[in-house]
Amino acid sequence: MKRSRFTEEQIIGVLKKQEAGLNVSDLCRKHGISDATFYKWKTRYGGLEVSEALICGHRFRILAVIDDFSHKNLTLVADTSLSGGRVARELTVLVESYGKPLMIVSDSDTEFTSHAILK
């Protein structure tokens, strides 16, 4: 994966400038990024403060399992990394408590493509 030339603190700073009222096109031109990059950053980092985005200098990952029918948060796990094995253990606990779901919808992160999940 290509490494960004911007730190998370810088990205959040750019987003804060836009929230303060600066034009997206002007911000993108000033920082040398495309509009698509800006909106990708906004999706990933929008609404975060620098202290929320980093723990001891490390990004953190959040596993949130939401029941689409009841909109109930079934579990919320935060850590600096979430392996496929950890996700599998959390899902096993949920299946034991609530039963097996008909369908699981996930984002495109790699935790759901590991051998631990595919077993």
Residues facing 76 on adjacent strands: 64
d(CA 73, CA 64): 7
Q: Residue 8: which pLDDT band, with cuts at 50, 70 and 90?
A: confident
**77 has a pLDDT exceeding 80:** yes
pTM comes to 0.48
Which residues touch 90 (CB under 8 Å, ≥6 apart)? 63, 65, 75, 77
Parse the chain into domains and list their residue ranges: 8-55, 60-118
Q: Residue 34: which pLDDT band, with cuts at 50, 70 and 90?
A: very high
Q: Which of 10-19, 78-87, 88-97 reaches the highest mean pLDDT?
A: 88-97
| pLDDT given at position 30 | 92
Cβ contact 45:76 at 8 Å = no
**56-70 per-position pLDDT tens digit:** 556 677 788 888 888
